[in-house]
Amino acid sequence: MEPGTNNKTEPDEGALVKRNMLRASQVLIDLLVLAAAFFVAFWLRFGALPPLDLIGRALLVAPYVVILEYGTLWLFNVPRFSWRYIGLREATQVVKACVVYSGILVISRFLFVELQDLHPVFRHGIVPLGVTLGNAVGSVAGIVGVRVLRRILAERAEIRERIEPSSTRTRTILVGAGQAGVLVAKELVARPELGFDAVGFLDDDPVKLGSEIHGIRVVGKTDDLAVHAERLQAEQILITMANVPGSIVRRIQALAETAKISVKIIPGIYKIVGGEVNLSRIRDVAIEDLLRRDPVKLDQAALEGALTDKVVLVTGAGGSIGSELCRQIMSFKPRQIVLVEQAEFGLFEIHRELKRKFPKTQIEPVIADVTDVARMESVFARYRPSAVFHAAAHKHVPLMEWNPGEAVKNNVGGSKCVADASHKFGCAAFVMVSTDKAVNPTSVMGATKRAAELYVQTLAARSQTRFVTVRFGNVLGSAGSVVPIFRQQIANGGPVTVTHPDMERYFMTIPEACQLVLQAGSMGEGGEIFVLDMGKPVKIVDLARDLIRLSGLTEEEVPIEFTGCRPGEKLYEELSAESEKTTKTKHPKIFVGVQMELDHADLKQKVSELLESAAGGQTAVRDALLHLIPEYTGATEEATERASERPAGALRRVSV
């Protein structure tokens, strides 16, 4: 570039010419539309052959009327609006301009009526009121109409460009013609590049039968899915219902299997924001959809009081439950959150995620072992948390059978350490995450969690800190849980291994479990064990069959093998012992059991003996567990006999 040359990019000359021609053509079209509206209004008012003087009047007045109308449109910025993106806002501006220039014409009419006595020429400016009204309607319809036509043609051209000539679209039946279904239908029609050809709606509301939504007809009820799928030659089903429970998803999945077509769903469709849904998230139905329950309704005020602008500490922050607790706690805007985790990588991941999503909140990553008393006390002394959520634990039943000493050190010793620190440093609330396996435990893992429950209860009776325990069953998708294992086995071609055909478990999604943990943590006065409503138990073999079918396979292709119960496992889990007599709370999905009245000194001594036994062999640990937990059934026969000689009434229960 030569010195002094202007380096500003100049518009291409051809582009300038094209733009000027486009604008000139738009102005000309608007003028023609306004003129046509005026003459059509005259014709409608006076018939096919109006008097000659009126024809002359129309020809004389028309240029002035058109100039007035276009000038008013210009004052309202109508000519500057892009025709391609005409919408309600632009149409409203056209109507406003029409009202203004029609008002001017009406005022002019009465003015010229008065002035015609001064000179006959003024009578030519008198425009009949019927013509003014017809002109107003016609000009609005014409100005808006040509722009709408331009938009329609442009969108169709874009659609043709987005679709490759060789691409195919999958014929799809939409299930659910409610608000969410309407929005999905609108998006599918506007975005054919997604590959969905919506051929019909299914909905169980008889009022909607036969109606059309964005050109898609409601053809019948969901029970007739197979019939309509065959008639419409549908290749797949798309569930478009918001807040759809798992039972309905399961029913639709079964109906689709009968029709031999696939099912897809939009996860999180109940989060419709601004009248839009995220169609990019459409996926195959997953096991979480089949087991889905109604969304949890939380007492926001209670949770805000416990968490907002508070310092919150979470142990096991890098685990499945701990990390989700952190995510949900952050939505209540704590002043600071302290992430305590022994596993370096898990802590790194959750810290990085929270820093990205919540850059303004103080987030402290702390590598620490919850069994290290000195380390935990230094953490509490530094951060002084108001609320503590204790999720750190060893949870895998067979591994803890093989390593009972480690289960005792972490599940009992770690819980004791964190609970003692919460008491010593005056925390307002301590919430311990427990498990249904603590009820009448048959495993080391369950017995150690029960021991931790008892210690927290006895500490609650002598502390200003509000200690509560929350107990629930299995969570879908947690690390090492059955669903990821089954998926891996299916991916490897099988077999899928199930321990026993009658084995049942309670299941809950991780987000739901954590929501209820937070809610339970804001309830009670201290010492309670809250039990979450887990719904109905699910047979593990049924879960395996669902996963195989959802993978598009059959049991012939991926067989199921029964391997026998593993050490410490029960066929059926219990959420509460019979003696606990759980009762309802103010939250429909949270129950509370009776509180045990414990001898603190006796329990503390037994916990100390249990922790000392962790350094010994497996027999010593199991014997110590039985000494503390009489309902534990995983100890040696000799220890069981000794426990049966214990004086009755060592543990007494009282109502909460």
CATH label of the domain that carries residue 272: 3.40.50.720
| Contact of 621 with 444, CB cutoff 8 Å | yes
What is residue 372's predicted lDDT score, i.e. its pLDDT?
A: 95
For residue 553, give the nearest of 291, 232, 290, 284 by alpha carbon. 284
Q: Are residues 591 and 617 in the same domain?
A: yes
Q: Do 316 and 264 have their domain in common? A: no
Residue 279 lies in a domain: yes
What CA dihedral angle connects 560, 565, 571 and 573, to 10 degrees? -110
Identify the active-site residue in 395, 416, 437, 606.
Answer: 437
* DSSP secondary structure code for residue 584 in this structure: E
Residue 94 burial (10 A CB sphere; 0-12, 13-18, 19+): buried
446 plus 538 within the same structural domain: yes
Burial 509-532 (b: 16+ CB within 10 A, else e): bbbbbbbbbbbbbbbbebbbbbbb
Task: Clarify whether residues 136 and 183 are in a common domain.
Answer: no
Both tokens of 168, joined, read 């195919």
**Rounded Cα distance, 457 and 463, in Å:** 10
- 583 neighbors 592 (Cβ within 8 angstroms): yes
Is residue 113 a part of any domain in this protein? yes
How far, in Å, are 255, 579, 646 from residue 653 at the CA level? 50, 8, 17
Query: Over the stretch 240-290, which tens digit does the pLDDT of each residue have?
Result: 887 777 778 888 888 888 888 888 887 655 444 444 555 556 666 666 666
96 in the same domain as 54: yes
- Confirm whether 293 is domain-assigned: no
From 471, 451, 506, select the one nearest 631 (Cα to Cα): 451
Query: Is pLDDT above 60 for 109?
Result: yes
Tens digit of each residue's pLDDT (9 = 90 or more) over 1-38:
444 444 444 556 666 777 778 778 888 888 888 888 87
| Residue 478: inside a domain | yes
Contact present, 582 and 471 (Cβ < 8 Å)? no
> Using an 8 Å Cβ cutoff, are 131 and 102 in contact?
no
Q: Exposure of 142 by Cβ count < 10 A (0-12 exposed, 13-18 middle, 19+ buried)?
A: buried
For residue 570, give every residue at least 6 positions away whose Cβ sits within 8 Å of its Cβ, in sequence order, or none. 437, 442, 443
Domain count, the chain: 3
Q: Please list, in sequence order, all residues whose beta carbon lies within 8 angstroms of the beta carbon of residue 376, skipping any fewer than 6 positions away.
A: 340, 368, 370, 417, 418, 421
Listing DSSP states for 598-613 in one string gives --HHHHHHHHHHHHHH
Residue 5 belongs to some domain of the structure: no
Burial class (CB in 10 A: 0-12, 13-18, 19+), 348: middle
Contact 201, 217 (CB under 8 A): yes
Q: Are strands 590-592 and 529-532 parallel, antiparallel or unpaired?
A: antiparallel
Does pLDDT of 632 surpass 80?
yes
Which DSSP letter does residue 569 get? -
**Rg of the chain, C-alpha, whole Å:** 37
Q: Please tell me whether residue 449 adopts helix, strand or coil conformation.
A: helix
Catalytic site includes residue 437: yes
Q: What residue has token string 């093998």?
A: 561
What are the pLDDT digits (tens) for 37-89?
878 877 777 766 666 666 767 777 778 888 888 888 888 888 877 776 677 77
Tell whether 9 is covered by a domain.
Answer: no
Average pLDDT of 90-99? 84
Res. 650: pLDDT tops 50: no
- Indicate yes or no: pTM above 0.75: no
d(CA 393, CA 407) in angstroms, rounded, equals 8
- Quick one: 468 and 577 in the same domain? yes
Mark which of 104, 133, 161 sits at the end of a domain: 161
Which residue in 393, 391, 370 sits closest to 380, CA to CA? 370
469 phi, psi to nearest 5 deg:
-120, 140
Residues 221 and 156 placed together within one structural domain of the fold: no
- Reported as a single tens digit per residue, the pLDDT across 357-395 is 999 899 999 999 999 999 999 999 999 999 999 999 998
Closest by CA to 451, choosing from 317, 559, 609, is 609
Query: Could you give the C-alpha distances from 482 to 300, 444, 535, in angstroms and in order?
Result: 33, 19, 18
Place of tokens 């239908």: 185
> What is the pLDDT of the chain when averaged over all its residues?
78
Question: Is residue 495 reached through a cis peptide bond, with omega within 30 degrees of 0 on the bond before it?
Answer: yes
Residue 441 carries which side chain, given as an amino acid letter? P
Residues 424 and 463 in one domain: yes
Both tokens assigned to 357: 């999503």
Q: Cα angle vertex 594, ends 592, 595, to 5°?
A: 110
Q: Are 213 and 139 contained in the same domain?
A: no
User: How much is the average pLDDT of 431-454?
Assistant: 88
In the chain, the percentage of residues whose pLDDT exceeds 90 is 18
Residue 645: per-residue pLDDT: 43
pLDDT of amino acid 475: 66
CB within 8 Å of 174: residues ≥ 6 apart? 181, 184, 185, 188, 198, 200, 201, 202, 216, 238, 240
Q: Are residues 125 and 209 in the same domain?
A: no
* pLDDT digit string, tens, across residues 545-581: 777 777 666 777 778 888 877 666 666 555 554 544 5
Residues in the chain: 656
At CA 20, angle to CA 15 and CA 22, rounded to 5? Answer: 95
pLDDT at 533 over 70: no
Q: Tell the residue number behind the tokens 């079964």, with chain if given.
A: 254
**How many Å apart are CA 541 and CA 331, to the nearest integer?**
37
What is the domain range of residue 253?
Answer: 170-285
Q: Among candidates 642, 641, 644, 606, which has minimal Cα distance to 625?
A: 606
Q: What is the mean pLDDT of residues 631-640?
A: 60
Q: Is residue 3 part of a domain?
A: no
d(CA 447, CA 607) in angstroms, rounded, equals 12
Cα angle value 371/372/376 (rounded, 5°) = 105
* Same-domain check for residues 563 and 625: yes
φ, ψ (nearest 5 deg) of residue 338:
-110, 120
Whether 551 and 402 share a structural domain: yes
End residue of a domain, out of 135, 161, 187 = 161
Identify the pLDDT of residue 535. 63
Burial class, 297, CB count within 10 angstroms (exposed 0-12 / middle 13-18 / buried 19+): exposed
650 in a structural domain: no
**pLDDT bucket at 337, cuts 50 / 70 / 90:** very high
Task: Answer with the one of 285, 317, 338 that is the final residue of a domain.
Answer: 285
Q: Are 73 and 94 in contact (CB under 8 A)?
A: yes
518 with 329: CB under 8 angstroms? yes
